């Protein structure tokens, strides 16, 4: 999910998917539960096949037992998906309905964002660990940090700016 040196945020190793995330303003949420079931009309990224797909319908056997999903791959071809998503590797691709893409600053504005929205904001604004101004927040978006924000939880970001650099960076759990 992140580059080898952990300096930039990458959601996948597939540049085409990363471009789609940017172009279509899709916020990736990591699938974090082995019990997660795909939802009809939702977009996903499959790490095994390294491409996106949309769930078209659920398929059941004659005795009404669930057997899988009919899907449409990003190239327009149809297929059948009958395995469970890989937790922390597969992604749910949600539309940016809160317009976080065009939000200039999510810090000190008293609005709660999901962990996934916060990571996406850093990604869409090309902020990496070498960006001195935001370095104090990196531990919250770094995939390998024990302080990494949970994708579906809400947070508010606060930081005091001194000499153009955020210091005393804090994240407070919140609700929307």
If the chain, 176 residues long, is cut into consecutive pieces of 10 residues, what is the mean pLDDT of each piece? 44 75 91 89 91 94 92 94 86 92 89 94 88 90 87 94 91 89
**68 touches 81 (CB < 8 A):** yes
Q: Considering the entire predicted model, what is its pTM?
A: 0.84
Residue 170 token pair: 């804090």
Domains and CATH numbers, the chain: 15-94 (2.30.30), 100-174 (no CATH)
Strands 113-114 and 51-60: unpaired
The reported pLDDT for the residue numbered 8 is: 54
16 torsion bin: left (phi>0), alpha (psi -120 to 50), beta (else):
alpha
């Amino acid at each position: 999910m992140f580059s080898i040196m952990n300096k930039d945020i990458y959601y996948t190793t597939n540049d085409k998917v990363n471009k789609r995330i940017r172009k279509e303003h899709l916020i990736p949420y990591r699938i974090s539960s082995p019990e997660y079931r795909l939802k009809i009309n939702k977009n996903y990224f499959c790490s095994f096949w390294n491409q996106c797909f949309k769930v078209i319908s659920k398929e059941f056997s004659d005795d009404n037992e669930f057997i899988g999903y009919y899907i449409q791959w990003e190239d327009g071809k149809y297929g059948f998906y009958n395995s469970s998503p890989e937790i922390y590797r597969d992604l749910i691709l949600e539309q940016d309905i809160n317009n976080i893409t065009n939000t200039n600053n999510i810090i000190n504005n008293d609005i709660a964002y999901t962990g996934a929205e916060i990571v996406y904001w850093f990604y869409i604004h090309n902020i990496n660990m070498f960006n001195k101004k935001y370095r104090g927040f990196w531990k919250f978006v770094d995939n390998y940090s024990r302080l990494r924000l949970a994708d579906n939880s809400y947070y508010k970001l606060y930081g005091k700016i001194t000499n153009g650099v955020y210091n005393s960076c804090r994240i407070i759990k919140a609700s929307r």
